[in-house]
Amino acid sequence: MKRVFVCLVVALMVALGPVGTGYALSDAEYRELLKDPDFRFEDALLGKVWKRVYGSLSAADKKILLADQRDWLKNRRDACAADYMRQGMDKVHAYCWAVNVRTHALQMIEDDSLEPVIDIAAVPDSLLPPNSLQRQDNAVSNARSDDYRID
């Protein structure tokens, strides 16, 4: 069942996610982004969730997820960030949101759920995309406190 779910989520992420932009974040740019505390937090959280999800999968599912992660890093992360920048967001926060989207996609695999795991009320205003997300008290409140803890 988990294999079918992993394949479904990966297929949805590919189908619904933006396609490559022709731009790829360089190692130097990535290191520069890591100087920002918001990006550093999102990147560390992604790493924590990735390890947890990857470790819980079968060998076959690990291959699928690893291929998808490589594709995300090579193509979709930058396309997603570019989309936020076109909406007027600065580069750092656009990449914060791109990483956040990936983190929550991985959490959906972990939870065997198509429900996103995010509490929009807990997101700092500085990280909200302009003109795209409106804060709502009951938007999505499936978050658990351990989803945001970095050990």
Q: What is the pLDDT of residue 47?
A: 95
Q: Give Cβ neighbours of residue 138 (< 8 Å, ≥ 6 apart).
A: none
88-92, Cβ contacts within 8 angstroms, sequence gap of 24 or more:
88/130, 88/131, 89/129, 89/130, 91/33, 92/33, 92/36, 92/38, 92/39
How far, in Å, CA of 54 to CA of 66, rounded? 8
Burial class of 37 by CB neighbour count within 10 A (0 to 12, 13 to 18, 19+): exposed
Question: Average pLDDT for consecutive 10-residue bins of the chain (151 residues)?
Answer: 52 44 78 96 95 91 91 92 93 95 89 56 57 42 44 46
Q: Give pTM, 2 decimals.
A: 0.63
Q: What is the pLDDT of residue 54?
A: 92
For 83, phi then psi, to 5°, come to -60, -45
Q: What is the pLDDT of residue 42?
A: 95
Asked whether 77 and 25 are in contact (CB, 8 A), the reply is: yes
